[in-house]
Amino acid sequence: MSVPSLPPSLFLGLALLFPGLAGAATLSVTVNDAAGRPLSDAVVMLEPASGRLPVKPMAAVEVGQAARQFTPAVTVVTVGTPVNFPNHDTVRHHVYSFSPAKTFELKLYAGVPATPVVFDKPGVAVLGCNIHDQMAAWIVVVDTPHFARTAAGPAQLAGIPPGTWRLKAWHPALPADMAPQATMVTVGTDDQAATVRLATRVTP
Ligand SMILES: [Cu+2]
């Protein structure tokens, strides 16, 4: 018995299942410091040149405290995301942010605060602890579904439709309260790479 060949209509059906992927490209973004060295923990995002794309709040995001440090130090969330701040230490912490992106205070507490903090505006919230001056963390709130971060290699922004985009990049080494730095990029149908140099603080 011979194997029947697939009807052409099946192939058409498979193509229609993924219309959003047709022609979408991956943009690899390297973020360098002022001296041209690549930065890890940089946050990159793509916004449309005009208008905005719908975003969904993320679920189950945590910025914990352990060994008197925030963990992780840098967190990226979409607008509207609730964030929990569980304290895993035996000492109490007093977590706050005075940043315009989100001003809040979780007064001296142990364990898990009863309600999460909702990050409802785009921007960067700088976190501190009133008790432990060395504790610092950053929550980057993005108003786009296209975001990524650098690690050992470039940040990978996948599934980007062709067009002109505003590429924004941010890193904790930028001067305090400096907004993400923007540049325009044109994305085609092929994968491509971009490099952003940030005016980071000079480190000795
Ligand atoms: Cu503390």
Which two tokens mark 191?
């994968």
Distance 37 CA to ligand 1 centre (A): 32
Q: How far apart are CA 201 and CA 20, in angstroms?
A: 40
Work out the number of other CB atoms within 10 angstroms of the CB of residue 62. Answer: 13
Q: What is the pLDDT of residue 5?
A: 54
The tens-digit pLDDT sequence of the chain (204 residues) is: 455 554 545 444 444 444 445 578 999 999 999 999 999 999 999 999 999 999 999 998 999 999 999 999 999 999 999 999 999 999 999 999 999 999 999 999 999 999 999 999 999 999 999 999 999 999 999 999 999 999 999 999 999 999 999 999 999 999 877 888 899 999 999 999 999 999 888 654
Give the predicted TM-score (pTM) of the model: 0.86
Ligand 1 geometric centre to CA of 93 (Å): 4
Q: Give residue 21's pLDDT.
A: 52
Cα 25–chain centre separation: 19
Ligand 1 geometric centre to CA of 30 (Å): 33
Query: Cα(144)–Cα(152) distance, rounded to whole angstroms?
Result: 24
- Near ion ligand 1, which residues have CB within 5 Å? 93, 129, 131-132
